[in-house]
Amino acid sequence: MKTVRDACQLQPNALSIKLSDQVEQLDELIDAEGDGTAFFDKTHITQGMQDLITEGIARLAGVSSQAVFHLKQAMGGGKTHLLVGFGLLASEGSELHQSTVRSVLYAIMELVNNVDGNEVIAHLTLNVPDYYSNQTQRERVVEVADYLAKKLEPFRPEEASAARVLRELVKNQRLG
């Protein structure tokens, strides 16, 4: 019987692997996904992914100082997939980048995390362009929140409730 050493043959480049060969080039991976439609069609949003996206968007929006995120997955645990997803959502070419939908989703996540309603509205006014000067923007926020409340109710009732709270906060906000 052969020993393991005798039975195995090293690949020609096995001893010449550089650390730089093991580092993913996230910008290239994100660019390769195009608009992200196919990527998100094959992606199940886990709690960890939702947490990273929520905290990452908060950081990008300037409402969080957390800049470091510890990803606990082991090898093959989806860290690169997670970062590509966040990159797609945060990139300027994304339909969600600085959109009302993104702002509403962020506000809903804040409410789920028990952030005070006044703070949520303050963040929303910063994230939605022309929030005060364009009545249509506030109406759009109400419509998106209402739509999400209806769609989320059967699957994620806590988030549906937060969407209804957001809708009412915006509708009842005193202006002027």
| pLDDT tens by residue, 4-38 | 888 888 777 666 656 555 555 777 777 787 777 77
- Whether residue 18 lies inside any domain: the answer is no
**Under DSSP, is residue 7 helix (H, G, I), strand (E, B) or coil?**
helix
- Dihedral pair phi/psi, residue 108, rounded to 5°: -65, -45
pTM: 0.52
Q: Give the pLDDT confidence score for residue 92 in this predicted structure.
A: 64
Q: Output the six-digit token pair for 73.
A: 């997955």
- Whether residue 12 lies inside any domain: the answer is no
Residues 64, 55 contacting (CB under 8 angstroms): yes
Domain count for the chain? 2
d(CA 70, CA 113): 19
Whether residue 124 sits in one domain with residue 78: no
**Which structural domain, as residue segments, surrounds residue 41?**
25-88
* Average pLDDT of the segment spanning 136-156: 88
- Whether residue 2 lies inside any domain: the answer is no
Whether residue 137 sits in one domain with residue 81: no
Question: Is residue 167's pLDDT more than 90?
Answer: yes
d(CA 50, CA 106): 11
Whether residue 109 sits in one domain with residue 75: no
Q: Give the pLDDT confidence score for residue 155 in this predicted structure.
A: 77
Q: Give the pLDDT confidence score for residue 34 in this predicted structure.
A: 77
Boundary (domain end) residue, out of 45, 62, 88 = 88
Question: Is residue 169's pLDDT more than 90?
Answer: yes
- Whether residue 60 lies inside any domain: the answer is yes
Percent of the chain with pLDDT over 90: 16
